Amino acid sequence: MKVSELKAREGKVDITVEVVSVEEPRTFNKFGREGRVANAIAKDDSGEIKLTLWNDDIDKVKVGSKVKITNGYINEFQGEKQLTAGRLGKLEVVE
């Protein structure tokens, strides 16, 4: 699958992308549990997409990392598509 083919609210996304930037993580509190979230930009040869990283995934990823998302999900926020591994998916660094 390619970045250019991704559609909002699409699930079961399997894709490998390269991370080009990672923002500072921020903490949040949800249902009494603290978590961390960070936005990154990822690309492949067809385009770029915002990548949302959660908790432990933030520490795995650096600029230049190639990451494989298995069973990911595409959100849309303010008209911009965002890729995330989400609760059911998996993010792994492949290089």
Predicted confidence (pLDDT) per residue in 30-80, tens digit: 899 999 999 999 999 999 999 999 999 999 999 999 999 999 999 998 999
Q: What is the pLDDT of residue 27?
A: 96
Q: What is the pLDDT, as a whole number, of residue 76?
A: 94
Rounded to two decimals, the pTM is 0.91
CA distance 7 to 1: 11
Task: List, in order of start, the domains of the chain with CATH numbers.
Answer: 3-93 (2.40.50.140)
For the cut 80, the answer to whether the pLDDT of residue 95 exceeds it is no
* Residue 62, both tokens: 């650096």
pLDDT at 87: 85
Q: Amino acid letter at 10? A: E
